[in-house]
Structure 1
Amino acid sequence: MKSYFYIIIKYFEKLESNIAFYPSLISAAGIFFAFFMIYLESVGISKYLVEHAPILVVNNTETARSLLTTFIAGLISIMVFSFSLVMILLNQASSNFSPRLLPGLISNSRHQIILGIYNATLLYCIFTLVSIAPHGDKYQMPGFSVLLGIIFMTLSLGAFIYFIHSISQEIQVSNIMDKIFTKSKNRLEKLVESEKHLDTDFEDTSEWKTLMAKSTGYMQDISLNALAELSKENNLKIEIVPIKGVYVLKGIPVLKVKGETDDELEKSLLETITFSKNELIEDNYVLAFKQITEIALKAMSPGINDPGTCINAIDYLTELFALRMTKKDKSYYFDDNDKPLIYIKTVSFEETLFYVMAALRNYCKHDLIIVQKLFLMLQYLLQIDDVLDEHYKKAVVKEIENLKNDALKSHENEADLKVIKSQIERLERLNPSDQKIKS
């Protein structure tokens, strides 16, 4: 039962990133509040306020109708304009930076809340307008509700001003990269803190029972708490076969299980895995390396030609790689006795570094400034003392050799070659003798 609780929490977290989640909740709140105010008006709240605090009541029917009609028309215009700005943001981010950025921009909770405020105010004003009696004395008119409509419209105007400011910030590539970096850094730090730094081996899983994927999509996330609860309740050991973030096809292995299982238990185990057509950095930090690299490559394309953005991207990648060097390549979920219960496959540091460097070397090797920056990044990674595995530094040395070969082949000017060779000599002096860079 506890495992289903964890699955529900995970499902709610995914639902929260949907662009319609907060607007739907806030709009529903606006409708319920409108009906609540209609009820209060029916028991005479406006009549009471006219007698004791007349300043809180709009008691002219024509004024109330004009105000509410103007609010409704104005809010519709504001919503159309806001949607247009969002579409411009998404289009520019897709064409100038990377289409992978769109899920993260769409799931911006601040923009969702602002949209919800617009819609809730609009619905409140519509229901309040409908509740105005066509005939009757001034006490039957929902004067206090109209005043609240004025307050809500003022709040909507404030939200619109903030929305303009937020969009102008969101569309800047530096802020986009900083947000990606911050999310990935937080995710990595959380993983590093949760790791038990124990030397352990997981038993051979080749003979274990294999569970196949029942659907197709990116393996976005795994509810480890739910999976662990099922494992403890049924005395199981589990290996998660695919790496989080990969595209999983229906019918390929996703879990290997040691222990007795039945159809119901296998179904519960598979339900702990979330499949999606989108990828979010909050679930998979490796996506940040891909997105920042793609921004750097787009910046170096002939149509954009923005080396400054590429340099900023390399700075963010440097810090992320440095943090990644403090994390193990193998991840486990431990039981209360510090024994590995679940084996989680992850992308190794060497693979991550290779794929990032392969792309940057291919597109940026002709630019001496970027080549220098890449050498400085690798130099920094080579000098880090707090490294979990010395194998990581061997991977850095390998990428220095690859970058050196590409850089020397791509430049013929003697001055450029001199700069490149001086960078290589500096790295050779820093490098341990057992990891000598090949000349």
Structure 2
Amino acid sequence: MDWNRWYSLKSYLRTSLWTVPLIAVAIYAVLKPLTEMAGRSMTRQGILDPKTGFLGLSMTGARSLVGDIVSADLAFLVFTFGSLLVAIQVAGGQYTPRIIATTLLRDNIIRSISGLFVFSLLFANRTLGWMGENEVHQLQVFIAALCGFASVVAFLFLIDYAAKSLRPVSLVARVGELGIAVIESVYPAPTTGAITQPERDKERGVPDRIVRQRGRSGIVLAVNLEMLVAKARRANAVIEFVPQVGDFVAVDDPLFYLYGNADTINDDRLRTLVAFGTERTMEQDPMFAFRILVDIALKALSAAINDPTTAVLAIDQLHRLLRMVGKRSLHVEEIMDKSGQVRVILRTPNWEDFVHISFREIRQCGVGSIQIARRLRAAIENLIQSLPEHRHEALRVELTLLDRAIASKHPFPEDLALARIPDSQGLGGSAASTANN
């Protein structure tokens, strides 16, 4: 299987709810015959009393117990998937549709509990159907009872977990955690100082070959950089990946620029090293985490919702991600092989891009809220204090723009003075301490 197809398959399985219940069906298919054989063996050897067993149930009691487990597990499954559909609609409307695939559908706890319900339902149903008129299969009934008890506990836990995970603070914190992981993988090296962008266009000139997109249009999800470097090294060439991860590429758009001895590189094999999809993912796209958080903040600041406190929670995570990005080396455009030769050129966002996406739209939509103005100022000033000097210029520009926007939105001097105080809580944090000082 080609790399891009394998990557797309893995991405699909990670965001599919049916995969874990399907695995539960496979586990059931393996364990059920084993437990039946174990039950017969234990009965023949006298280890298990066929009349009393572990629970001491009669035929009537066993049938009633297992029947209740089947009914309960079926109800749990219906409630779980029905509630999940409602949660997806609420999250998409209240926060952003991009939160669905990145968090809700990737939640392994929800998927695992659904798998437990499926396994327990199948096992109990099989046990109920396998019992004869005069024989109670005590081991199977006992295991079904354990699964039923586990299902009840898991269901109660799921209600509590779902209620907590759908809170704004939980969703933005989860996006922040995913963003931190992506930043660490895409930008592994710490920053060493001011970076000057390479003038590769002037150095390399016109590409010797252009590989264009074929097949279907889509969004770039990921690129197999290791294989690109290996192909470029074997051909003694330089491969430039034209779009950026997260870009939409239409059919016949340039996909690769090839420099040097590029005739030996097969175009179709090169295209298989790029995974496309219909929606951006975070695996190699750190900017997508910023995009989701900004979208949540903008939705919260809209007139229909008007929830600036949720926007402040999103700014908290943007502040956290910017501190991480600001301490990393973002100059990864030229990727070298082991000999130190440049083999692959990959465009990535620079520091200004991250700063712009974090502050510009939120400032434009939310500067009229004193909470937002104060939280943005606190974030910018903290970043100026904590990040290296070469990161300050873009932040000072944002601070100047914030001052100008605040002055245009707050005509009263008292409101203007209050809005210019940095506050990590938006309102209620540093304002009181500043006044006392």
**Shorter-chain TM-score: which interval?**
0.7 to 0.9
Q: Superposition pairs for residues 89-108 of structure 1, below 5 Å?
A: 89-103=87-101, 104-108=103-107
Shift of 1:238: 1.6
Unaligned runs of 5+ residues in structure 1 are 424-439
Deviates most, 206-215 or 171-180: 206-215
Cα deviation per residue 1:69-97 (whole Å; 9 max; x = unaligned)?
22111111111111222123222211211
Shift of 1:46: 3.5
Match of 1:34 in 2: 32
Cα deviation per residue 1:382-429 (whole Å; 9 max; x = unaligned)?
333435xx2x42222322332233222222112234456788xxxxxx
- Counterparts of 1:413 and 1:146, CA distance in 2: 74
Match of 2:243 in 1: 242
TM-score, normalised by the number of residues in structure 2: 0.84
Change (3 A) 1:12 1:422: closer
Match of 2:188 in 1: 193
Match of 2:375 in 1: 373
Shift of 1:111: 0.7
- Counterparts of 1:196 and 1:257, CA distance in 2: 29
Cα deviation per residue 1:328-370 (whole Å; 9 max; x = unaligned)?
4432433112333221111222123223322112211212332
Change (3 A) 1:110 1:407: same
Change (3 A) 1:234 1:115: farther
- Counterparts of 1:5 and 1:35, CA distance in 2: 38
Change (3 A) 1:309 1:199: closer
Match of 1:158 in 2: 153
Deviates most, 272-281 or 179-188: 272-281
- Counterparts of 1:272 and 1:26, CA distance in 2: 33
Match of 1:437 in 2: none
Match of 1:211 in 2: 211
- Counterparts of 1:240 and 1:20, CA distance in 2: 35
Match of 1:80 in 2: 78
Q: Percent identity?
A: 18
Change (3 A) 1:125 1:205: farther
Change (3 A) 1:405 1:131: same
Q: Superposition pairs for residues 124-143 of structure 1, below 5 Å?
A: 124-133=123-132, 135=133, 137-138=134-135, 141-143=136-138
| CA RMSD across the alignment | 3.0
Match of 1:352 in 2: 354
Match of 1:416 in 2: 415
**Contact 1:6-1:226 within 8 A present in 2 as well:** no
- Counterparts of 2:65 and 2:242, CA distance in 1: 61
Q: How many residues align?
A: 412
- Counterparts of 1:371 and 1:354, CA distance in 2: 16
- Counterparts of 2:373 and 2:292, CA distance in 1: 20
TM-score, normalised by the number of residues in structure 1: 0.83
Shift of 1:107: 1.1
- Counterparts of 1:303 and 1:422, CA distance in 2: 28
- Counterparts of 2:365 and 2:395, CA distance in 1: 19
SS in 2 for 1:193: coil
Shift of 1:53: 11
**Contact 1:38-1:128 within 8 A present in 2 as well:** no
**Contact 1:46-1:144 within 8 A present in 2 as well:** no
Unaligned runs of 5+ residues in structure 2 are 423-437
Task: Find the partner of 1:182 among 168, 177, 182.
Answer: 177
Shift of 1:30: 1.6
Match of 1:428 in 2: none
Deviates most, 399-408 or 341-350: 399-408
Match of 1:327 in 2: 328
Match of 1:434 in 2: none
Shift of 1:20: 2.0
Match of 2:140 in 1: 145
Shift of 1:13: 5.3
- Counterparts of 1:218 and 1:340, CA distance in 2: 26
- Counterparts of 1:27 and 1:19, CA distance in 2: 14
Deviates most, 156-165 or 51-60: 51-60
**Contact 2:212-2:251 within 8 A present in 1 as well:** yes
**Contact 2:222-2:283 within 8 A present in 1 as well:** no
Match of 1:405 in 2: 404
**Contact 2:52-2:58 within 8 A present in 1 as well:** no
Cα deviation per residue 1:263-301 (whole Å; 9 max; x = unaligned)?
8x3322222222122333343221121111122222222
Match of 1:167 in 2: 162
Change (3 A) 1:47 1:65: farther
Change (3 A) 1:127 1:209: farther
- Counterparts of 1:381 and 1:304, CA distance in 2: 29
Change (3 A) 1:46 1:144: farther
- Counterparts of 1:58 and 1:372, CA distance in 2: 67
1:123 aligns with 2:122: yes
The residue identity in structure 2 corresponding to 1:62 is: T
Shift of 1:179: 0.9
**Contact 1:187-1:285 within 8 A present in 2 as well:** yes
Match of 1:309 in 2: 310
SS in 2 for 1:376: helix
Deviates most, 95-104 or 319-328: 319-328
**Contact 1:330-1:344 within 8 A present in 2 as well:** no
The residue identity in structure 1 corresponding to 2:183 is: L
The residue identity in structure 1 corresponding to 2:318 is: L
